[in-house]
Structure 1
């Protein structure tokens, strides 16, 4: 069932669980996350950031929409970390049902302005909007980490109240200590859960956690209990998918996709299932 991000996240907010937003960068990965969501009866956001969009091309979105329509679970197609209004217009034109405008690197006033404009445009055609306040850290220069900052600027609860009131966004990505990319052994992930609790109490709307790969399971589970309703997972599934592909390609004579990709999809699905269960999303499609 194809739907919007708002319809999915409002239910998650009401019932206190988090929906995974799995970043996909090819058709096989997309099918993998849909299949495991159907097998676990969990709602799904298919996240695609601009670099991934440039790789899969606009022409693949109608096929993604068609598969989502046929799915037994609710699915939203989410433009992740949109940089500007032209990208938002492109997302709406080619069939996304949820968009994120990321003005987190701008001043507070400019972030409000671009987020409010995105809401005006997207809400006019029934599409939901996520924005970000504060900055997520970044571990490397990989394109998926480009939306991060060298220094984390934690979300201020009172600024969050003002931001939500003045923009009308449907969900808010907050900075509580996560990083885009893979954590090095020298860095211990740590979330500011007390800050998360204050932000949720202040704004009430669905909160989003970016950079969700690599954090300890117990911290993530606690963040869900404290009000996170969407968690982005990119690196964790991409690493296992491509590592398995490297392993499979070392076998002699393999050249057909139905010989190469199924083990890679299985590896991705195993990690994705763990995230679905960790976020308490398994079985929640029955609520829609």
Structure 2
């Protein structure tokens, strides 16, 4: 069933788990994560970045909506890191039920102004809005982008931002980065900052850059109030690695998609199931 971001995350906040937001950059990834969520009885947010949408074209959203309308699990179609009011409006016009406006690189006042403008337009269309306060890091070549220096979310201004904008969920910066960390980097989440933000705010909190952080830190973040976690690199890397294995196996006649991709999808599904269990979203469909 197709739901909004507010609908899917309000239950997660009430029940104390995090909804997985998988970046579905292809039909194969989309089907793999949907199979995982149906098997685990987990709600899901299908996240699509503007760069992914540009590659896939608008028709891909219709495919995602079709799947959402033909399953009993809650599915939200979410625009990931919308960079402008125009991008967000386009997403709403083609059927997204949740949008993110990412103006975190702007001043607090400008972030408030554009986020408020998006909220007013999106809520009129019954679409939920996520915004970001603070900045997420960037480990390298990712479509999501980021900055080299993380600016942590200031807990003392988070609720003020929420009150001024009316956003439905807030992405916080506590030390995560988009992409997979280099081997010589040991990522650490500032759970102390998360604890303070959670105590001072009243809407679901979102963690971006959830790939490759230690499982124990992610699990702890969920228990401390994170209700949505974005996963992109982890599912795409295992898909790509398996595809390399298939292509390098020596069968020069292997060219049909239904020959090349099934094992890649299987590896993606395994990672998705692991994340679902880590986020404690398994067996939560019963609450919707």
TM, length-normalised to structure 1? 0.98
* Alignment-derived partner of residue 87 in structure 2: 87
Match of 1:182 among 159, 180, 194: 180
Structure 1 position 185, deviation (Å): 1.1
* Alignment-derived partner of residue 281 in structure 2: 281
Q: Distance in 2 between matches of 1:143 and 1:270?
A: 23
Query: What pairs up with 1:195-214 in 2 under 5 angstroms?
Result: 195-214=193-212
Question: Between Structure 1 and Structure 2, how many residues are aligned?
Answer: 286
Any idea what SS the aligned residue of 2:171 has? strand
* Alignment-derived partner of residue 115 in structure 2: 115
Match of 1:168 among 157, 166, 170: 166
* Alignment-derived partner of residue 269 in structure 2: 269
- Please tell me whether the aligned partners of residues 142 and 178 of structure 2 are also in contact (alpha carbons under 8 angstroms): no
Structure 1 position 142, deviation (Å): 3.0
Structure 1 position 250, deviation (Å): 1.8
* Alignment-derived partner of residue 240 in structure 2: 242
- Across the aligned residues of Structure 1 and Structure 2, the Cα RMSD in angstroms comes to 0.7
User: Which one is further off, 36-45 or 132-141?
Assistant: 132-141
Q: Distance in 2 between matches of 1:202 and 1:142?
A: 32
Any idea what SS the aligned residue of 1:205 has? coil
Query: What pairs up with 1:147-166 in 2 under 5 angstroms?
Result: 148-166=146-164
For structure 1, which runs of at least 5 residues remain unmatched after alignment?
Answer: none
Q: Distance in 2 between matches of 1:88 and 1:26?
A: 20
Q: Distance in 2 between matches of 1:255 and 1:137?
A: 38
Q: Distance in 2 between matches of 1:236 and 1:37?
A: 16
Structure 1 position 249, deviation (Å): 1.3
Q: Distance in 2 between matches of 1:34 and 1:268?
A: 11
Structure 1 stretches (4+) deviating beyond 4 angstroms?
A: none
Q: Distance in 2 between matches of 1:255 and 1:187?
A: 38
